[in-house]
Structure 1
């Protein structure tokens, strides 16, 4: 039997992301976020409109999306309720957030130089995606004074790094999903990904390379051809 409720949040469960950005003085910032999703080589993240990460991202046009494994919950916890904004904003102060300048040292994590963007990666994360800003949308436009309080930010992934142990045997560019151990957040609690629930997925019958058309081109009979919107999904 269903019953109507009014939850304060709708965090049904997504992988935790550690987003690294660059502060105005050139130092790195890390923020744990739980609102991120992917399509092809694009990532959309949900951020507070006035957060330090958002300000850094909009100013520099780049960041790194790092995916922690389920054994990294203690490090993520050390970052929780910290902010790179000084002084601490009123709402964050009311929820116990404190200003931390060196997030890497505070969390016990290691910066690792990126190859395309200026912002560093997090060495301990099994997946690291260097990204460039593609667009930003101020949410809650219909709510007047709250417009832009949260933002949906579109990122273009320009370089992906993964631990070699995650690669599917015999493939240079495919991930073995059975080896993935993402840290999941569901209603503010940490979870690990469970076992596969079906022997076979019909969607998995489509070769992953078919989706490369969403980068704007594909190979047809040995020739690289441009793909137009009407020929896609």
Structure 2
């Protein structure tokens, strides 16, 4: 039997991406996000309009999508309630967000130069996708406060151990992505740690996440 529910969150499970962009002063911004899906060499990114990342994408028209393995869950959580905007939007401030000018330092990650775009790649991420922004459109009505950015993958970098020998394919068994499911972190199909983002969204935690 089904129950009719007014779902507060509809994150049924998507991979976590560390999205690197360039700030107006040329420094790097790094934002964790999970509203992303791919088809062919294109990807759709869903972002809030108040995010520094959105402003950077509109201005610079390029980014790097760094796909996160489950082993970096602690690193991602350090960035969960941070923003690259010095003027933290009131709604985010109320949720506990803080301005962090150097996200790489906060996360303990290393940047490495990209080949075709200016934002750096995340050295610790085994899959890095250099992208250009091709178009953008509001999500739903114009007042939704969110935008879908359509990007095209220009170049893909994959850790050698994840490439099936003699092919251009990623080993699906060796690749264990960090998954965001209903604001909680999962890897290899299991919950792996509580999420600060889930606390900010007042999401209920199951027993497996609170022990």
> How many Å separate the matches in 2 of 1:88 and 1:136?
24
Unaligned runs of 5+ in 2: 191-211
> How many Å separate the matches in 1 of 2:109 and 2:98?
19
Figure out how many residues of one structure are paired with residues of the other and give that number: 190
Query: Displaced runs of 4+ in structure 1, greater than 3 A?
Result: none
Shift of 1:45: 0.7
Does 2:133 match 1:159? no
Does 2:196 match 1:179? no
2:202 aligns to what? none
Unaligned runs of 5+ in 1: 196-233
1:115 aligns to what? 115
> How many Å separate the matches in 1 of 2:82 and 2:179?
20
1:148-207, Cα deviation, whole Å (9 max, x unpaired):
x01111000000000000011221x11111111100000111001349xxxxxxxxxxxx
Indicate the RMSD between aligned Cα atoms, in angstroms.
1.2
1:150 aligns to what? 146
Q: TM-score scaled by structure 2?
A: 0.88
Q: TM-score scaled by structure 1?
A: 0.80
> How many Å separate the matches in 2 of 1:138 and 1:87?
23
Shift of 1:7: 1.3
Return the structure number with greater helix share.
Answer: 1
1:231 aligns to what? none
Shift of 1:86: 1.1
> How many Å separate the matches in 2 of 1:179 and 1:134?
31
2:14 aligns to what? 14
Equivalent residues in 2 for 1:1-233, closer than 5 Å: 1-141=1-141, 146-147=143-144, 149-171=145-167, 173-194=168-189
2:195 aligns to what? none
